[in-house]
Each structure stands twice: as C-alpha cells, then as structure tokens.
C-alpha cells in the first residue's frame, strides 16, 4: 500500500540472504543450539565493537536491562523498592525492567534533544535513589558527562539503555557502568528474532549477569542465586555475526539521509530534531515534531509515505502507570503529542528521501 514503507525488513535482510541462509543451515546441521561457539564468537565481536571488555548475550533487550539491574542490586545490596531514575519518554521496557528487578522507576523529564535532562534527574533524586538509567533515545546520546557528574556527586550508578544506539558508543568516551542492547529485528543491529546483550568493562558484573541469565548457575547444577533463563540463541548469534560488519556503513547512510532531511525540509509547520545537527546520532529514528500530527501523517500517506509515532504516550500517561497520572513532564508530553517518525533506513534512496522532503514541504494543515 505504501510505496515508501517505514522499514522494509525483508529488503534489508535480503542484502545478505545467501550468507544468512548458509549460516542458518550450518547451525541446524551443527546440532548445537544454545551456549555454544557462535554465541561466544558474537559476544567477543560485539565487545570489541563496543570497546568494552565483556559482552553477555541475553534473550532480548528487556532481559539485558533486567539482568543488569538485578546483578547490580545484588552486588551493591540495594533494597527492594529502591529507586532508579528513567526518562519520562522512552519505550516502556526501560521502566518495566526496573520493576522486574524489584526496584522502583522514578521518571525525569527529557530535554529538547529527547533524552533525560540532567537538571530534571537531579530534582528527582531521593534518599532511596540508587541509579540513573538514561536512554540514548532515537539513536542520540544522552548527556553522559553531566549525568556521570551528577551520579558521582550522589553516589549513584549509571546504567545505559542503548537499545536504539548500536554504533553510537564508538564515538562516546563517557560511559556508565554497563549498557544494555536489544537486537529486536527493527533495531540498527537486528536479529531475525529476539536477542539482547549487556556490554561492560566490569568483569565481576559480567560474571554475575552471565550466572543470573542461566538460572543463577555458577557451574552446571550448582546454583548460587535465583535468576532467569535468558540466553542469546546460537542461530540469532550467528545471524548477528553476519550482520555486524554492515552496521557502521548502515549508520553512516542513516546519518547521510538525516543530513539530507535537515538540509531539505523547510516548513513552518514542523520542527527539525536537534536544530538540524546530524553528527551525534545513529538515527534509529528521525523524529519530526508538529502540532498538526494527524494531518501531516494523512498527507504523507496520500504521497505513499508510511510514518510511525515514537511514542504516543509518555510513561506517566500509560495505563500501567496510572499511579503517576497526576505528575507532569511537559517536554515528554509535548513530544508524545507531536512526534512523527519519518522513514529512515540504510536502503532509502536519495530520490525517496527527496520525495519525503517535498511531501513534508508541501504539507498545508
Ligand atoms: C527495543 C527497546 C527495548 C527492549 O528491547 P527488546 O529486545 O524488545 O526487549 C528497551 N529499551 C528501548 C529504548 C528500546 O527501544
């Protein structure tokens, strides 16, 4: 129906159809499907890529965050219900992982670049706060230097949700203690199913996560804590090893398209993200904001352009978080009410990008 789909996964994976199919065949024939050499090889490759000493594969991104928080909680002796500050606008898994680790998510408003505002996070710190959990939303880095300084001042851990930001870390020197990744198929590095990972330089933390992800087993049939069953499959790890070499070029192409959008979009009805800057994000998502969202989406649909919204509700507006309904996070609410995600993926052509630009520019509310 759309001539420009939001994300053509079939075409994106089709670029490597032969290698992916050959890899799948190898795994089928190997007779070894979990905790084997393909998982170890991908973990080593992704640790190298993220420039962290350790990478632990998990079943998905939410488990990566959950296990990371569970391991920190156990090691640091945090109590049930201790608080972790998360941005008020993110995919809900960020906050649900905090709850699943037996901790309490506390929301902080975002800033004009859609990520956790250090000043708002500071206002939300209490005697029970144990960690800050910034999200590199849409592929753009949270203000890590300011958040790390804030955390140091208050004795807090910093844990990164990098589910939308594969490849960003190679530019950023300022890191929290660990970062959680998702390999959901639509992410910048996606499996052909679910997958996730934690990357860290902290050997003890990596070891604890590995143990907790495997029923709390320190060695076979010797269980030292209660954990989860959360592992990256051999077949997904093998697919990811085939796909990882394309990631940098894919991210570079995403930035190019973002630069084309920033240079070409000229409409009084929309605002460009980051004031048109494109060097600090891997553009998992290209977020335009407009007070005329439904009309713009309908207009783009008539031009054959599929768009999405990330996200239509801020966390405190979710039915799940009804107890927070009375709270106000003005910037998160503004973005939730006005954001439109334009198609932006490595196979989008200049011609398609120009059609999208012209269609945004011809929009009249
Ligand atoms: C995708 C995503 C997650 C969850 O990852 P899954 O692999 O889907 O569990 C967490 N946080 C953010 C910001 C995400 O975009």
Residue 4 within any structural domain of the chain:
no
Regarding whether 54 and 89 lie in a shared domain, the answer is yes
Domain count for the chain? 2
Mean pLDDT of 54-67: 98
Nearest to 182 by CA among 136, 151, 122, 123: 136
Of 226, 244, 262, the one marking the end of a domain is 244
Regarding whether 163 and 76 lie in a shared domain, the answer is yes
**Does ligand 1 have an atom closer than 6 angstroms to the CB of 227?**
no
Regarding whether 333 and 228 lie in a shared domain, the answer is no
Residue 169 within any structural domain of the chain:
yes
Mean of all residue pLDDT scores within the chain = 97
Regarding whether 198 and 102 lie in a shared domain, the answer is yes
Nearest to 172 by CA among 44, 254, 279: 279
Q: What is the pLDDT of residues 72-102, one digit of tens each?
A: 999 999 999 999 999 999 999 999 999 999 9
Of 244, 264, 279, the one marking the end of a domain is 244
Contacts 24+ apart (CB under 8 A), 92-95: 92/311, 92/315, 92/318, 92/320, 93/61, 93/62, 93/65, 93/163, 94/65, 94/133, 94/135, 94/161, 95/315, 95/321
Regarding whether 159 and 42 lie in a shared domain, the answer is yes
Residue 336 within any structural domain of the chain:
yes
Mutation pick for ligand 1 pocket among 66, 94, 308 (CB with most ligand atoms within 8 Å): 94
Q: How far is the CA of 267 from the centre of ligand 1 (A)?
A: 32
pLDDT at 357 over 80: yes
Residue 235 within any structural domain of the chain:
yes
Q: Where is average pLDDT lowest: 165-169, 266-270, 355-359?
A: 165-169
pTM of the model: 0.97
Q: How far is the CA of 361 from the centre of ligand 1 (A)?
A: 32
**176 band by pLDDT with thresholds 50, 70 and 90:** very high
Regarding whether 240 and 257 lie in a shared domain, the answer is no
**Is residue 219 helix, strand or coil?**
strand
Question: Of ligand 1's atoms, which has the minimum distance to the CA of residue 187?
Answer: 1
Percent of the chain as helix, strand, coil, to the nearest 5: 45, 15, 40
Nearest to 135 by CA among 77, 92, 184: 92
Mutation pick for ligand 1 pocket among 7, 164, 179, 314 (CB with most ligand atoms within 8 Å): 164
**172 band by pLDDT with thresholds 50, 70 and 90:** low
Q: What is the pLDDT of residues 221-261, one digit of tens each?
A: 889 888 999 999 999 999 999 999 999 999 999 999 999 99
Q: What is the pLDDT of residues 193-213, one digit of tens each?
A: 999 999 999 999 999 999 999
Residues of the domain holding 330: 245-361
**Does ligand 1 have an atom closer than 6 angstroms to the CB of 93?**
yes
Q: What is the number of other CB atoms lying within 10 angstroms of the CB of residue 231? A: 21
Question: Of ligand 1's atoms, which has the minimum distance to the CA of residue 183?
Answer: 7
Mean pLDDT of 42-49: 97
Question: Of ligand 1's atoms, which has the minimum distance to the CA of residue 63?
Answer: 9
111: domain CATH number?
3.40.640.10
Residue 3 within any structural domain of the chain:
no
288: domain CATH number?
3.90.1150.10
Regarding whether 196 and 156 lie in a shared domain, the answer is yes
Mean pLDDT of 275-283: 94
Mean pLDDT of 170-181: 82
Q: How far is the CA of 197 from the centre of ligand 1 (A)?
A: 11
pLDDT of 288 reads 98
pLDDT at 355 over 90: yes
**Does ligand 1 have an atom closer than 6 angstroms to the CB of 62?**
yes
pLDDT of 169 reads 67
What CA–CA distance (Å, rounded) separates 284 from 352?
18
Residue 5 within any structural domain of the chain:
no
pLDDT above 90 covers a percentage of the chain that reads 95
**Does ligand 1 have an atom closer than 6 angstroms to the CB of 91?**
yes
Of 183, 211, 244, the one marking the end of a domain is 244
Q: How far is the CA of 94 from the centre of ligand 1 (A)?
A: 7
**Does ligand 1 have an atom closer than 6 angstroms to the CB of 184?**
yes
- Location of structure tokens 């070029």: 249
Residue 2 within any structural domain of the chain:
no
Regarding whether 114 and 81 lie in a shared domain, the answer is yes
Mutation pick for ligand 1 pocket among 64, 88, 182, 183 (CB with most ligand atoms within 8 Å): 182
pLDDT of 277 reads 93
* Token pair of 238 as six digits: 């093998």
Regarding whether 265 and 148 lie in a shared domain, the answer is no
Mean pLDDT of 289-316: 98
**Does ligand 1 have an atom closer than 6 angstroms to the CB of 196?**
yes
Nearest CA to ligand 1 atom 14: 163
Regarding whether 149 and 263 lie in a shared domain, the answer is no
pLDDT at 284 over 70: yes
Nearest CA to ligand 1 atom 2: 163
Element (H, E) at 261: helix 247-264
pLDDT of 220 reads 87
**219 band by pLDDT with thresholds 50, 70 and 90:** confident
Residue 68 within any structural domain of the chain:
yes
């Amino acid at each position: 129906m759309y001539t420009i789909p939001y994300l053509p996964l079939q075409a994106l994976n089709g670029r490597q159809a032969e290698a992916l199919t050959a890899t799948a065949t190898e795994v089928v024939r190997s007779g070894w499907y979990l905790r084997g050499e393909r998982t170890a090889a991908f973990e080593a490759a992704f640790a190298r890529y993220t420039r962290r000493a350790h990478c632990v594969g998990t079943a998905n991104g939410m488990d990566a965050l959950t296990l990371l928080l569970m391991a920190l909680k156990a090691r640091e002796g945090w109590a049930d219900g201790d608080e972790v500050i998360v941005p008020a606008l993110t995919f809900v898994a960020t906050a649900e992982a905090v709850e699943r680790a037996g901790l309490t998510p506390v929301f902080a408003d975002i800033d004009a670049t859609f990520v956790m505002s250090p000043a708002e996070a500071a206002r939300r710190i209490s005697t029970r706060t144990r960690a800050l959990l910034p999200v590199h939303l849409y592929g753009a880095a949270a203000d890590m230097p300011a958040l790390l300084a804030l955390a140091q001042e208050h004795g807090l851990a910093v844990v990164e949700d990098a589910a939308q930001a594969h490849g960003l870390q190679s530019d950023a020197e300022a890191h929290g203690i660990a970062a959680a990744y998702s390999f959901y198929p639509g992410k910048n590095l996606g499996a052909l199913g679910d997958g996730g990972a934690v990357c860290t330089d902290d050997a003890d933390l990596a070891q604890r996560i590995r143990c907790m992800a495997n029923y709390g087993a320190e060695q076979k049939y010797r269980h030292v804590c209660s954990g989860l069953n959360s592992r990256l499959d051999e077949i997904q790890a093998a697919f990811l090893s085939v796909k990882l070499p394309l990631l940098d070029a894919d991210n570079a192409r995403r930035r190019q398209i973002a630069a084309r959008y920033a240079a070409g979009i000229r409409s009084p009805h929309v605002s460009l993200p980051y004031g048109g800057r494109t060097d600090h994000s891997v553009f998992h998502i290209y977020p335009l904001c407009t007070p005329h969202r439904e009309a713009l989406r309908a207009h783009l649909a008539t031009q054959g352009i599929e768009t999405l919204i990330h996200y239509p509700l801020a966390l405190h507006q979710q039915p799940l978080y009804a107890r927070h309904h009375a709270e106000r996070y003005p910037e998160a609410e503004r973005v939730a009410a006005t954001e439109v995600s334009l198609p932006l993926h490595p196979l989008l052509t200049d011609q398609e990008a120009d059609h999208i630009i012209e269609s945004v520019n011809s929009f009249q509310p």
